[in-house]
């Protein structure tokens, strides 16, 4: 069996890869593993379970709830809420476990299961591995120990979760949003109720699009992966800015008043300066990844701040933040982690904080985002090559050195072997898009000849 857990839980096509039986079995296994690890010691365990609006989330939620309750875990069903809301409520309610059913920005047929440990933090890798092993062991025949009578878990709907989470978001805002007009694209996803409610309570005048989930339309031509509708709506309504989430609302991208995209790097740059001003940017540093735009790094250095770069993936950003005590980190894709107020990327919180900065300064989002110049970035995928030889090919090393010399201090080259496919990603940044394309094309040719 291949590893079930990826970098963001278990994910696949619902009812094909991710079945009710798998969801139930993993939930029972998680309960047993956490019990053995001492998480439930001395008390009756509780889990918070939430989902996004995908149709398949209904039967998968039922399977997860059944699995947990059959293993003696009391369940609080919070219904359709964002991933960061489930993480927050797991911590705020003192629960032993959180479970979110979502495939984030993926298309509707997919779904996923993500577990949170006590406090709302991602489960440690070793616990995920143990859950997999225990699940497989019992799937092939060894019977579970099952409680009976009063020992079985009780299930109740926790409707207060919505208000509790929105109150948390409003409570951490540094200032109100009165006078701002904001368009919100909810991707027909998990934040369709939460985000409009939070922005309205914070004082903004809102226009919503993509806020009518029917179980089948999540991420369909809208949200943070499809910004065209939001760009048009912001211009049409004369709004100050637009905010786009993905299906589970752990991401946030923005659009300025002219309809131009403001990506995750630019959002981080704006928030970094706001937090430095407020005295909350610990270590005078922001955490990004190796894919962060060079313009972001240049801007932060000009402002006297450090950009700490990790491998690609918000889990690596979060690990670095926790290890070194940093307060802000994220990715170009819009995963932004504000660690004082969230244990994971929170798109609604990010959008509110960005809007709060616009309101507090009286400056436009375009002006604020102008702190960094986004250098042109070209990404070329080179398939069917021996990616294991990227770091050992003399021909490739020589070509990269030559490209870096040509680009100078205003450009960058990054070669990344894919983690899942036999391909190498060639990323080139330069001050000029034509130069970036030219260098990327030449390097892609060298990758193909040297590693093909």
DSSP 100-162: EE--TTS-TTEEEEEEEETTSPBPPHHHHHHHHHHHHHHHTTPPPP---GGGSPPEEE-THHH
Q: Comparing C-alpha atoms, which of 258, 320, 259, 330 is closest to residue 293?
A: 330
**Beta partners for 146?**
none
246 annotated binding-site participant: yes
Single out the catalytic residue among 27, 56, 102, 104. Answer: 104
DSSP 8-state code for residue 251: B
Q: Comparing C-alpha atoms, which of 115, 111, 90 is closest to residue 27?
A: 115
What letters, b where the CB count within 10 A reaches 16 and e where it falls short, cover 46-79?
bbbbbbbbbbbbebbbebbbbbbbbbbbbbbbbb
| Chain-centroid distance, C-alpha 115 | 14
449 annotated binding-site participant: no
Rounded Cα–Cα distance for residues 332 and 266 (Å)? 8
Active site includes 320? no
**Beta partners for 157?**
77
250 annotated binding-site participant: yes
Sheet holding 377-383, edge to edge: 377-383, 423-429, 412-417
Rounded Cα–Cα distance for residues 284 and 327 (Å)? 9
438 annotated binding-site participant: no
Which contacts qualify for 395-403: CB closer than 8 Å, 24 or more apart?
395/446, 395/449, 395/450, 396/446, 396/447, 396/450, 396/451, 399/442, 399/443, 399/446, 399/450, 400/443, 403/428, 403/439, 403/442, 403/443
In terms of Cβ atoms closer than 10 Å to its own Cβ (0-12, 13-18, 19+), residue 325 is exposed
Q: Which two tokens stand for residue 197?
A: 């409610």
Q: Which two tokens stand for residue 94?
A: 């003192």
Q: Please identify every residue annotated as catalytic.
A: 104
Binding site: residue ranges? 104, 246, 248, 250
């Amino acid at each position: 069996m291949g590893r079930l857990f990826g970098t963001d839980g278990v994910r696949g096509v619902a009812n094909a890869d991710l079945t009710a039986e798998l969801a139930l079995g993993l939930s029972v296994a998680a309960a047993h593993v956490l019990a053995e690890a001492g998480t439930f010691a001395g008390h009756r365990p509780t889990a918070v379970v939430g989902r996004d609006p995908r149709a398949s989330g209904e039967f998968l939620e039922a399977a997860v709830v059944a699995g947990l309750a059959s293993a003696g875990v009391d369940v609080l069903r919070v219904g359709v809420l964002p991933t960061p809301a489930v993480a927050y409520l797991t911590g705020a309610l003192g629960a032993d476990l959180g479970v979110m059913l979502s495939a984030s920005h993926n298309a509707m047929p997919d779904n996923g299961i993500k577990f949170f440990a006590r406090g709302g933090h991602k489960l440690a890798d070793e616990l995920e591995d143990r859950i997999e092993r225990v699940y497989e062991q019992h799937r092939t025949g060894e019977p579970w120990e099952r409680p009976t009578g009063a020992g079985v878990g009780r299930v109740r709907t926790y409707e207060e979760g919505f208000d509790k989470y929105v109150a948390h978001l409003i409570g951490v805002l540094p200032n109100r949003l009165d006078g701002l007009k904001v368009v919100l694209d909810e991707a027909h996803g998990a934040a369709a109720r939460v985000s409009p409610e939070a922005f309205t309570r914070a004082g903004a005048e809102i226009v919503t699009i993509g806020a009518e989930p029917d179980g089948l339309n999540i991420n369909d031509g809208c949200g943070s992966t499809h910004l065209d509708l939001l760009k048009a709506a912001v211009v049409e309504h004369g709004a100050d800015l637009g905010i786009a989430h993905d299906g589970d609302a752990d991401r946030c991208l923005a659009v300025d008043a002219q309809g131009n995209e403001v990506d995750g790097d630019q959002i981080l740059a704006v928030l970094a300066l706001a937090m430095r001003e407020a005295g909350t940017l610990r270590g005078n540093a922001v955490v990004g990844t190796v894919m962060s735009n060079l313009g972001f790094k240049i801007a932060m250095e000009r402002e006297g701040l450090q950009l700490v770069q990790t491998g690609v993936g918000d889990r690596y950003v979060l690990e670095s933040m926790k290890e070194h005590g940093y307060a802000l980190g994220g990715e170009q894709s819009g995963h932004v982690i504000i660690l004082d107020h969230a244990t994971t990327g929170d798109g609604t919180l990010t959008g509110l904080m960005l809007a709060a900065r616009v309101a507090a300064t009286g400056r436009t989002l375009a002006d604020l985002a102008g702190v960094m110049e986004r250098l042109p970035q070209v990404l070329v995928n080179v398939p069917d090559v021996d990616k294991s030889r990227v770091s050992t090919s003399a021909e490739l090393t020589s070509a990269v050195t030559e490209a870096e010399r040509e680009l100078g201090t205003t450009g960058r080259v990054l070669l990344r072997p894919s983690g899942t496919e036999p391909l190498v990603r060639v990323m080139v940044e330069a001050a000029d898009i034509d130069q970036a394309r030219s260098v990327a094309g030449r390097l892609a040719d060298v990758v193909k000849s040297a590693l093909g």
